[in-house]
Chains A and B, each alone.
Chain A
Amino acid sequence: MRRTGSTSTTVGAPSARQGGVLHRTRTAKVSVAAGLAVSLVALAGCSSSSASGSGAMTGNIRILANITPVLTKTYYKGLVAPFVKSHPGVTVTIESPSGTNVQSTLQQELVSGAAPDIVASTLDPVVAPQMTDFPNASWVTSTPLSDSNKVDGRIWQVATGLQNQSLVYYNETAFQKAGITAPPTSLDEFTADLGKLKAAGYVALQTAGEWVTGAQFSMMANPGLLGGDPTWYAERNDKKVTFAHSPYATYLKAYAGWVASGAIPKNSLGEKYQDSIDNFLAGRSGMYIMGNWLDASVDSAKNLPFKVGVFATPTADGSAPKQMSGQAQPYSILKSSKHQALDLALVKYLVTDKAAVTTSLKSEGNFRAGYSYSGSDLDAAVGKIVDTAPGTVTGTAGPGVNAGFGNELNTVVQSLYTGQSADKAAAKLDSWWNANAGQ
């Protein structure tokens, strides 16, 4: 934020004591003037700093970005560098979230009047009213999942690629030692293999606390929930269905069994996300449910003591699941931004420029029709799963989903570790949904 010059320095202090009432009166005037000046300076400092008009193609663009072990500030700076170089007078500032995540940070910044120009992160549709509509141009409509994330027919977020998340990475050496010859396809086979891995001395299924527990559950269970009924969330809003009588209940029951049997250690909740990656890459665990962005971590790990394989998450009947997919590295432009044309040009560059898109896709092993890059064997294996998947389903956010559902699902799944039964966990999801519907 650029601040205007301080006017408080122009207020002169009384040069000498003049005595009596006159002096006090002048002091009073000076105090009032100083108070006003301080207030004005404070207000000026809080106001938007950009002097550029909405059509100006110069200025500083602030991007509030989702920072992860892979998507670092350096990564984003490198991504926008060619655009900055070809646009004299343009600078880009990458900002990491100061709150618990990008959306909560954005909410705080909007309230305080210090919103960024662009957000580089997946956001709930509840944010859409604050975002600029993208034009109905082919470069917009051809971005991944541009249609499915519309709000009131408006495209407010465009992505560089697709993330596929219904994947189970596994330690091939651990599988061999446990006597598992082929990856499981059904929940029953998966449960049996967890037992074999545990018997072989491995942490059978790697998980962690924080957001990981619920995210892994949805990666596995959402294809079951939405695969056969893509409108399930809408039906839940109409109270035609319940979690207690949905495929979620089946997966919760299976998950509770894995915790009870020790296939998932109860103390897993004491680990952080990065710990879970480190443990899997150290060869301590047999399987790890995660999105395709794990490819980057596996590929960058040096001297892995085992080979990593990947298969699609198991289903109740053993059929190939749809993939829980989401927009990868999406961008939105704030309505409050003072240089809309410049923002749009930058976003267009990020989601259409061949080199930028390829860099973005490669960073996390993401996918996009019409774009290819030389990836690892693991990337190819994930690509094969995606190609043969019968379709895609959404995650725990999106149109029709109560904001905070992912968070609540995480809490509920974690409650299976603390003695909650699967039935009660499913019932808890229903009561949460009812309490938060339409809020």
Chain B
Amino acid sequence: MPASSTATAVPTAPRTVGPRPPLGRTRARRRETAADIAMMAPPLILVAGLIIVPIGIAVYLSFTDWNGFTSPPHTIGFRNYTRLIHDPAVKHAAFLTLLITAIGTIACNVLGLGVALLLNRNTRINAILRVLVFYPYVVGAVILGFLWSSILGTNGAVDAALGAHHSLPFLSDPKWAIATVVCVIVWSSFGVNVVLYLAGLQTVPDNVLEAAKIDGASPWQTFWRVKLPMLAPTVTVNVVLVVIGLLRVYELILALTAGGPAGETQSFVYNILTSSFDNTQLGYGAAQSVVLMVFIVVVTIVITAARRRSEQAVAA
């Protein structure tokens, strides 16, 4: 990923006022512009149709009381937004999602980078281990959720191994269930971080590492002073991807705990779907979706800006 900060350093050519181009060239330029627009039209239509229009519809629905079955929707102003501020289920889901995101982001990146450093050498065993680490990411979240629920659920594989009187409440106690959800999420998703960090480590030039070695840098100093600063763009990509992914976590929770016990593991997106479909309040669900969307955009901008600022500070 190119460092965006370098874009500002590119000198721009001074504008010169010259004679008007001949008519033929103007016509050609117009044709070129028309061709450019025509070439861009299909992706623009797709983006508008698949992203902008749905977002617009979601924003519109968030101001209605539509239940998904009756028509037309009735506009109710900001009532959905004021309601979600006071809704204890939304508050709990927001807190849980932030908790999962905070712990998950740190765990996925620390584990991802750590395992990437361990598997960075090109050996046969490392190739196998890379596949194994990445494998959970390839398997669907729903399958993983059901798999782990059969392992960790009451009377599951772990309970069977421990015996009837030593059952562990992985999915039945709220605190255990939240910890289980976080662990399974991290286990299932950090493989992609490993791959991204491995790709980032490949870009660290050998001559820089050799120079550090000649200068007498220890492995820790080499990592901390050389590799990590050079991995900064990779770290940003990983952090942004993990944060966005964890803020939207749903399928794995559905299959693993079904939001239980007592709704304690209902994430924000889980709550959106419960409001929208179980409670048939699509308008209210849309309001929650809009809030989540805005939050994700803001968090992404903040993370990117923070990285850019730190890069500029390092460069200075």
Interface positions of A (Cβ within 8 A of B): 20-21, 24-25, 27-29, 31-32, 34-35, 38-39, 99-101, 103-104, 107-108, 110-111, 124, 126-130, 209-210, 265-272, 275, 279, 402-404, 407, 411-412, 414-415, 417-418, 420, 435-436, 439
In the complex, what's the smallest C-beta–C-beta distance from B244 to chain A, in angstroms? Answer: 23
**Are A39 and B154 within 8 A (Cβ)?**
no
Which A residues touch B170, using CB under 8 A? 270
In the complex, what's the smallest C-beta–C-beta distance from B266 to chain A, in angstroms? Answer: 9
**Are B35 and A108 within 8 A (Cβ)?**
no
Give the complex CA separation of A402 and B152 in angstroms: 34
Binds A, one of B64-72, B121-129, B295-303: B64-72
- CB within 8 Å for A403 and B67 given contacts A107-B277, A268-B172: yes
**Are B279 and A404 within 8 A (Cβ)?**
yes
A411: nearest chain-B partner, CB-CB = B263
Tell me, yes or no, whether B183 is within 8 Å of chain A by CB: no
**Are A31 and B39 within 8 A (Cβ)?**
yes
**Are A268 and B38 within 8 A (Cβ)?**
no
In the complex, what's the smallest C-beta–C-beta distance from A277 to chain B, in angstroms? Answer: 12
Which B residues touch A275, using CB under 8 A? 153-155
Q: Which 9 A-B pairs have the closest CB atoms?
A: A404-B279, A28-B38, A104-B277, A270-B154, A270-B172, A414-B262, A35-B42, A270-B171, A28-B35
In the complex, what's the smallest C-beta–C-beta distance from A114 to chain B, in angstroms? Answer: 14
Give the complex CA separation of A166 and B33 in angstroms: 73
**Are B34 and A209 within 8 A (Cβ)?**
no
B153: nearest chain-A partner, CB-CB = A270
In the complex, what's the smallest C-beta–C-beta distance from B43 to chain A, in angstroms? Answer: 9
Which A residues touch B120, using CB under 8 A? none
B39: nearest chain-A partner, CB-CB = A31
In the complex, what's the smallest C-beta–C-beta distance from A200 to chain B, in angstroms? Answer: 15
**Are A269 and B278 within 8 A (Cβ)?**
no
**Are B263 and A436 within 8 A (Cβ)?**
no
B146: nearest chain-A partner, CB-CB = A272
Which B residues touch A20, using CB under 8 A? 28
Which B residues touch A267, using CB under 8 A? 154, 167, 169, 172-173
Which B residues touch A124, using CB under 8 A? 280
**Are B38 and A27 within 8 A (Cβ)?**
yes
Give the complex CA separation of A128 and B69 in angstroms: 8
Which B residues touch A271, using CB under 8 A? 153-155
Q: Is the interface of A mostly helix, strand, loop or mixed?
A: helix
Give the complex CA separation of A266 and B177 in angstroms: 13
B29: nearest chain-A partner, CB-CB = A21
In the complex, what's the smallest C-beta–C-beta distance from A286 to chain B, in angstroms? Answer: 16
- CB within 8 Å for A420 and B262 given contacts A24-B31, A24-B35, A28-B37: yes
Give the number of residue pairs across the A-B interface with Cβ within 8 Å: 153
- CB within 8 Å for A269 and B277 given contacts A28-B37, A28-B39: no
**Are A210 and B260 within 8 A (Cβ)?**
yes
Tell me, yes or no, whether B149 is within 8 Å of chain A by CB: yes
Give the complex CA separation of A279 and B155 in angstroms: 9
Which A residues touch B236, using CB under 8 A? none
**Are A266 and B172 within 8 A (Cβ)?**
yes
Q: Which of B42-77 contact A (CB under 8 A)?
A: 42, 45, 49, 65, 67-71
**Are A108 and B277 within 8 A (Cβ)?**
yes
In the complex, what's the smallest C-beta–C-beta distance from B167 to chain A, in angstroms? Answer: 5
Give the complex CA separation of A209 and B171 in angstroms: 9
- CB within 8 Å for A35 and B171 given contacts A24-B32, A439-B284: no
**Are B154 and A25 within 8 A (Cβ)?**
no
**Are A21 and B28 within 8 A (Cβ)?**
yes
**Are B281 and A414 within 8 A (Cβ)?**
no
Seed contacts A29-B38, A403-B281, A414-B261; 14 additional CB < 8 Å A-B pairs: A27-B39, A28-B35, A31-B42, A39-B49, A104-B277, A104-B278, A111-B282, A209-B261, A267-B169, A271-B154, A279-B155, A403-B279, A417-B172, A417-B261
**Are A209 and B258 within 8 A (Cβ)?**
yes
In the complex, what's the smallest C-beta–C-beta distance from A230 to chain B, in angstroms? Answer: 24
In the complex, what's the smallest C-beta–C-beta distance from B65 to chain A, in angstroms? Answer: 7
CB 8 Å contact bits of B146-175 with A (1 = contact, 0 = none) = 000100111110000000000101111110
Tell me, yes or no, whether B206 is within 8 Å of chain A by CB: no
Tell me, yes or no, whether B254 is within 8 Å of chain A by CB: yes
Tell me, yes or no, whether B239 is within 8 Å of chain A by CB: no
Which B residues touch A127, using CB under 8 A? 69
**Are B261 and A100 within 8 A (Cβ)?**
no
In the complex, what's the smallest C-beta–C-beta distance from A397 to chain B, in angstroms? Answer: 11
**Are B260 and A269 within 8 A (Cβ)?**
yes
Q: Which of A31, A100, A129, A130 contacts B278 (CB 8 A)?
A: A100
